[in-house]
Amino acid sequence: MTKDLTKGSPMRLILGFGIPVFLGNLFQQLYNVVDTAIVGKTLGGDALAAVGATGSINFLVVGFCMGVCGGFTIPVAQQFGAGDEKELRRYVTGGAWLCLLLGAALTVSTVLFCGQILTGMHTPSDIYQRASCYILTIFAGLPAYFLYNFTAGVLRALGDSRTPVIWLSTAAIVNMVLDVVFILTFHLDVFGAALATVLSQLLAGTGCLLRMLRGYPILRMERADWRWEWRRMRELCVMGLPMGLQYSITAIGSVMIQAAVNGLGTAYVTAVTAASKVSLFFCCPFDAMGSTMATYGGQNVGSARWERLHQGIRACVILGAVYSVIALIVAYFCAEPLNMLFLDAESTPLLPLARQYLMTLTIFYFPLSLVNIFRFMIQGMGFSPLATLAGVLEMAGRGMIAMLVPMLGFSAACFASPAAWILADLFLVPAYLHCYHKLSHPKSRDRKNRGQRPPRARLLHSAGV
């Protein structure tokens, strides 16, 4: 089930690899969205606001987990493209060690400081207890997120984008059942929604791990593969930590906006929560494009096929433009019924606010597609620290708008993310061209023409190691 992305039509390969990733992202969103829908419909607007008020900090922490796991698997994709199975296995085991350490450290720290985080975000007092209960449960379950994201990342690095979606779809169904049981039968309130999410994530991670252990001879580890090598750990950290920090830096801007919206009152928090959940579904294809570009870039850099990088970018940009138009049309005609999936009857007066927020986002979806395409391509090429700077620009964009929310009101909050996306694009497109030029230096082309793959040292040098 491995897939070589270094040969064949880039458009066909991107679609073939990306569609299962898209389905996986879709099911991933079902975790939180089903929780939100059931909470909003059965427990009311205050419970919905409590879950929504934790959305940005949830993204900050879980996003860091996703980022570092994705970064740890970039060398795996590069070594797969280069055909070096021994190095591939050692990068997998190195990433596993780091995930164990980071998972433990992040779980303990977030659980200990959960209360201070919510207080610092100006969480409204009437929803504070429920918000604390929900996000504390998510934080306690972070090891399950590390398990799934790392094992799924390794499988995708080998070209297998099907196994993660199979297990995510199974876990999503389990999540729905557990939501109903925990909330409606056992009356566990928002704690039940969070617990269902964590258990379902654990199921998906366990399934991917079993597939890794039983389905791939290339991943059959020997005792020597598990040795702790400081040099290799440093290389993995150079790849993974910038990607994790990129997610977290981006999320810090979201936290600023969330705090500003929280200051407007519970009604605005509820409207933004509903619209944001709808937008997350719309954004699943963009996330899939990013994951696809990371694997595509990693494998083609590993095999020194520089010309295919431009071809892949061009194909994915076309897909992003077409989908952005489709999403805008759907949002224009279906904003109200989509938002009502997460609002109860008493929250109907909030529909105009939710529509305003959703439409503002969808108008700027094409810049968002470029952010994912170029950022993840840069990361797959081995320049993770450089891509992190785009996250800094996103944070700056959201932070500047957040300062205007108290003066300009809700309309300013609607434009925070679009401003962040545009600022990131202004950096990412030139940054990609710089990375491409650095890799496709004439000496590299001469090496490829002689039928030699680039040495491992060159791949690491591209990441600044």
Greater confidence, 213 or 3?
213
- What is the DSSP annotation of 339-381? HTTS--GGGGGGHHHHHHHHHHHHHTHHHHHHHHHHHHHHHHT
Per-residue pLDDT tens over the stretch 68-120: 998 899 899 888 888 888 889 999 999 999 999 999 999 999 999 998 988 88
In the predicted model, what is the mean pLDDT of residues 390-396? 83
Question: What's the chain's average pLDDT?
Answer: 86
Question: Could you tell me if residue 279 is inside a domain?
Answer: yes
Distance CA 284, CA 290 (A): 10
Distances (CA, A) of 403 to 65, 88, 98, 398, 418: 28, 46, 37, 9, 16
Position 460 scores a pLDDT of: 45
Range of the domain at 205: 10-462
Q: How many domains does the chain have?
A: 1
* Contact criterion met (CB below 8 Å) for 55 and 197: no
Question: Could you tell me if residue 5 is inside a domain?
Answer: no
Position 122 scores a pLDDT of: 79
Position 431 scores a pLDDT of: 94
In the predicted model, what is the mean pLDDT of residues 172-197? 89
Question: Could you tell me if residue 423 is inside a domain?
Answer: yes
Count CA atoms within 13 Å of residue 89 on its CB side: 15
In the block, residue with structure tokens 């990131």: 424
In the predicted model, what is the mean pLDDT of residues 162-179? 89
In the predicted model, what is the mean pLDDT of residues 170-193? 89
In the predicted model, what is the mean pLDDT of residues 128-152? 94
Question: Could you tell me if residue 2 is inside a domain?
Answer: no
- Hey, what are 256's tokens? 């600023």
In the predicted model, what is the mean pLDDT of residues 413-436? 92
In the predicted model, what is the mean pLDDT of residues 31-38? 69
Question: Could you tell me if residue 229 is inside a domain?
Answer: yes
In the predicted model, what is the mean pLDDT of residues 204-219? 91
Position 462 scores a pLDDT of: 45
Most confident of 240-244, 315-319, 339-343: 315-319
Per-residue pLDDT tens over the stretch 321-349: 999 999 999 999 999 999 888 787 777 88
* Contact criterion met (CB below 8 Å) for 368 and 285: no
